[in-house]
Amino acid sequence: MDMKSVRLFSLLLLVSLVAGTLTLLAGRFLPEDQFALAVEGGGIRYYTPERPFAYSWYLSVACRPEYLDRIYVLTDPRVDNVYIGNRAVLDGLLHHLASDAAAIGWEPAIETVTIEGMREVLESGQPAVIVDPLGYWPADISVSSLRTWLEAGGVFIWLGDRLGYWLWTTGGPAQAERTLDQLLWGRSIYDEAAPHSTASRPLPPEQNLGLAYRWAIWGPSPAAIADLGGRALGWQTPDGRRVSHAVVPLGQGAVVLFGSRLVRLNGLESDVAQDIVAMLYRGLTDTGVVVRAGVSSGSAVSGFEEVVPTCIDAQAVIGSSDRWMFHLVRARLGPSVQAWSVEGDRGRR
């Protein structure tokens, strides 16, 4: 290829990149045409916007209690300093949790807690969300307090290897004699013989939900999750024996599992944070959630979904998880079981 051809090719490539950038920007700065929800008799009418590019969207209806707006993140210095880099990963997770929530107009109360603070939350009996981002279960916190708290509606988010495989003791990390899944449900939720694959493929759209975190290296078994009335989400290993996300119910609450240890995957805290925000905001901790997935070629679409609210805190959310047009609209029940109110359009423009 001669120099003239190289220059022409470079010019065409530059024009293509500029055009693509302008297209994406156009998709983010069109506030007059956004996702919308309208509550009608027997269900919800939804609208998706027109865009100059294809995108995915999801409509979900779930029972979402208000206490999902209270999030406690375990960041005890004794645990944080086990490995070099832990602190930076945790700082990144906290930053992205706050910024991703702000991007959709959500204002949850996010608070860091030590092991002692985590014990106080559990023993208070007040449901909330606890995130264990480093994959150690504090040995001096009784599992019975976790169980009681979960049964009352609490949500425990685990980022680690097998659930409760590693304990945090006064002397440092130690292997548990019995893991948390065995103690909470009386059985393993893992396929012990499944390989720890770094490759993954998406679950069907209604389960994938646009979740960003793809690692299922230590993920639970989707078959075991289903046996316990839970829901596998996100991604799966090529053989389908491990998944990247799972919601497992216990009483009125649930345990949410991610498929690997956060500290082992430095740099993916932004994906984890986005998924935590999306799951809590949508109410995906409700294993009875109803999901409709769609892919738009760029044309606006209107549709109707029949919905019968089954709880006083039911809500619907529609939006896209695509980073260049992250929008969400939420409709929730009003004071009357039959009355819905639309909260509004939130997200990146």
Cβ–Cβ < 8 Å for 55, 325: yes
Model confidence at 44, in pLDDT bands (50, 70, 90)?
Answer: confident
CA dihedral 243, 244, 247, 248 (to 10 degrees): 50
Report how far residue 134's alpha carbon sits from residue 260's, in angstroms, rounded to the nearest whole number.
10
What are the b/e assignments for 173-188, b being 16+ CB within 10 Å?
eeebeebbbbbbbeee
The letter for the amino acid at 214 is R
Nearest to 97 by CA among 157, 17, 187: 157
Model confidence at 263, in pLDDT bands (50, 70, 90)?
Answer: low
The packing angle between helices 86-103 and 269-282, to 10°, is 40
The DSSP code sequence of 248-286 is EEETTEEEEEESS-TGGGTT-HHHHHHHHHHHHHHTTTS
In Å, the largest CA–CA distance within the chain is 74
Report how far residue 263's alpha carbon sits from residue 257's, in angstroms, rounded to the nearest whole number.
15
The letter for the amino acid at 308 is V
**Given this model, what pLDDT does residue 317 score?**
92
Q: What is the pLDDT of residues 51-73, one digit of tens each?
A: 888 999 999 999 999 999 999 99
Report how far residue 124's alpha carbon sits from residue 107's, in angstroms, rounded to the nearest whole number.
23
Q: What is the pLDDT of residues 73-119, one digit of tens each?
A: 999 887 766 665 677 888 889 999 999 999 888 999 999 999 999 99
Percent of the chain beyond pLDDT 70?
A: 81
What does pTM read for this prediction? Answer: 0.85
pLDDT at 138 over 60: yes
Q: Cβ contacts of residue 210 below 8 Å, gap of 6+? A: 56, 58, 278, 320, 321, 322
Report the CATH fold assignment for 65-282. Answer: Rossmann fold (3.40.50)
pLDDT at 12 over 60: no
Cβ–Cβ < 8 Å for 154, 253: yes
**Given this model, what pLDDT does residue 334 score?**
43
Token pair in block for residue 131: 């995130």
Q: What is the pLDDT of residues 264-296, one digit of tens each?
A: 555 688 899 999 999 999 999 999 999 999 999
Q: What are phi and psi of 124, to 5 degrees?
A: -70, -25
Nearest to 320 by CA among 296, 344, 301: 296
What is the three-class DSSP state of 317? Answer: strand
